[in-house]
Every structure is written in structure tokens, then in C-alpha cells.
Amino acid sequence: MSDTPQFSTAEYPPQQIERCGLCGTPLASEYYRVHGRTACAGCASAAQNGQANGQKNTAFTRALLFGIGAAAVGLVGYAAFTIATSFYIGYVALGVGYIVARAMKFGSGGFGGRPFQIVAVILTYLAIALAEIPIALWEFRTRIPAGRMLVVGIRLLPVGLTSPIREMRDPIHGLINLVILFVGLRIAWRGTAAPSANVEGPFRPKPAAS
Ligand SMILES: [Zn+2]
């Protein structure tokens, strides 16, 4: 039975310098566990607040960049889907909210929280609302001189930004799309919430065997 692990006699390497699994700081007298990873007191309390100590700005910047990329993909996808299918109902809004949130979570390395949520909702709204611009350009493409597409597109910015509200001119269609938009924004909001902190500790390291 030599294969059986001998937990009671398991040996820990003496003098092993334990480092925080999140920020790399050598651990002092006590340590914590955050999502199962050894962490310093600073990272543990930051995790409880849904933020990464020292990584917060980087995480947010990366989440923002990934979110903008996903929103651009969502905008193109939303417009392409609507043009290709002439689909009346904007269900794609749900997918846009989802990919923006997933991309931001990926970019932040899993961190979230209120600022992330606000950005996710804004990006999702922009992607869906501004998708109306390429849709409109496509619809009226025969009446717009080829070289003027960009200029007309820029001129349509205010129209695009307010398109979800403008759609209320057709109350039933507009309301359905507004509800779907709201659900899509909610998906983005919830998908970038702070993860529920799983913080244990403090623990005191075993005294190193001499
Ligand atoms: Zn740390």
C-alpha cells in the first residue's frame, strides 16, 4: 500500500517562501485564500470589494478595450443580421449584451463591479443603437452617392444614438425592441458584476520545520 498518500506525515519544504497568488508579494505572518489561491491580506480585502489590488486599473483598462472590441463586433453582427434577414425584432441585442460582458470579464481576468457594469451597459447600448446607421445606409444605398457614405453615416450619429427611442413611433414594434434592448443591457450588467468573493482566512503558516 505504498501508493496510499500519507497525509499525516506529508512533508512541507521548509523555508519555502510563500507568495501571494494574486500580486506576488511574499506573504507575511498570515495569509488568506481567495477562490482557493493563497493571497495576501491586501488582495483578500480587495477581493471582498470585488477589486484586484494593484491590478485594478489594468483590469479595468483591459476590460474596456475588450468590451469596445466586442461592442464593435456586436454592432457589425447586429447590422449584418438585420440587413440579411430583414428581421423585425432585435433579438440579437441579447447576444450583444452577452458578448460584451463575456469579453469584459475575459479582459479583466474575471474581475467585475460597478464601473465595469456601467461600461458594459453603455457599450451594449451604443452597439445596438449605432447598428441602425449601417442598416439605414444599406436601406438607402441607392440614393446616397458612393463617396458620401461616410459623411452621411457621421451625420446619422444622433439618429443612431436615439434610435431605440425613435422606434417608439411604431409603438408595438418599438416597445418589443425596447424590452429586448433592456434585457440585453441587463445581461451586460449582470455579466460584469463583481464575482461573489470567496475569501477564507486569515491563516497562520505552519512554523517551518528546522
Ligand atoms: Zn496580494
Q: How far is the CA of 151 from the centre of ligand 1 (A)?
A: 50
> In terms of domains, do 144 and 187 share one?
yes
User: What pLDDT digit, counting tens, does each position of 6-32 carry?
Assistant: 555 555 555 567 889 888 888 878 889
Ligand 1 center–CA 102 separation, angstroms: 25
Going by pLDDT thresholds of 50, 70 and 90, the confidence category of residue 62 is very high
Please indicate, yes or no, whether residues 142 and 179 belong to a single structural domain of this protein: yes
Whether residues 178 and 200 fall in one domain: no
Mean pLDDT of 29-55: 77
Q: What is the DSSP string of 178-209?
A: HHHHHHHHHHHHHHTSPPPP-EEEEE-PPPPP
27-54 mean pLDDT: 78
Cα–ligand 1 centroid distance for 129 (angstroms): 41
Instruction: Identify whether residues 185 and 92 lie together within a single domain.
Output: yes
For the chain, what is the mean pLDDT? Answer: 85
Cα 74 to middle of ligand 1, angstroms: 35
Distance 106 CA to ligand 1 centre (A): 20
Q: Could you tell me if residue 5 is inside a domain? A: no
DSSP label of 5: -
**Could you tell me the distance, in angstroms and rounded to a whole number, from the CA of residue 37 to the centre of ligand 1?**
10
Residue 99 Cα, ligand 1 centroid: separation in angstroms? 30
| Residue 3 pLDDT level (bands cut at 50, 70, 90) | low
Domain residues for 175? 56-191
Distance 19 CA to ligand 1 centre (A): 8
Is residue 188 scored above 50 in pLDDT? yes
Same domain, 27 and 94: no
Determine the distance separating the centroid of ligand 1 and the alpha carbon of 42, expressed in angstroms: 6
pLDDT at residue 7 in the model: 52
Percent of all residues in the chain with a pLDDT value above 70, rounded to a whole number: 85
Work out the pLDDT band at 68, boundaries 50, 70, 90.
Answer: very high
Q: Is 99 a domain residue?
A: yes
Q: Which residue has the higher pLDDT, 62 or 168?
A: 62
How much is the pLDDT for 179?
94
Q: What is the model's pTM?
A: 0.71
Do residues 47 and 121 share a domain? no
- pLDDT for the residue numbered 1: 47
Q: What is the pLDDT of residues 107-154, one digit of tens each?
A: 998 888 899 999 999 999 999 999 999 999 999 999 988 789 899 999
pLDDT at 22: 84
**Residue 208: predicted pLDDT:** 56
Residues 83 and 183 in one domain: yes
Half-sphere exposure of 11 (CA within 13 A, CB side): 5
The rounded Å distance from CA 115 to ligand 1 centre is 22
207: left (phi over 0), alpha (psi -120 to 50) or beta: beta
Best CA proximity match to 34, nearest among 203, 193, 204, 207: 203
Whether 184 and 209 map to the same domain: the answer is: no
Number of domains in the chain: 2
- 72 Cα to the center of ligand 1, angstroms: 34
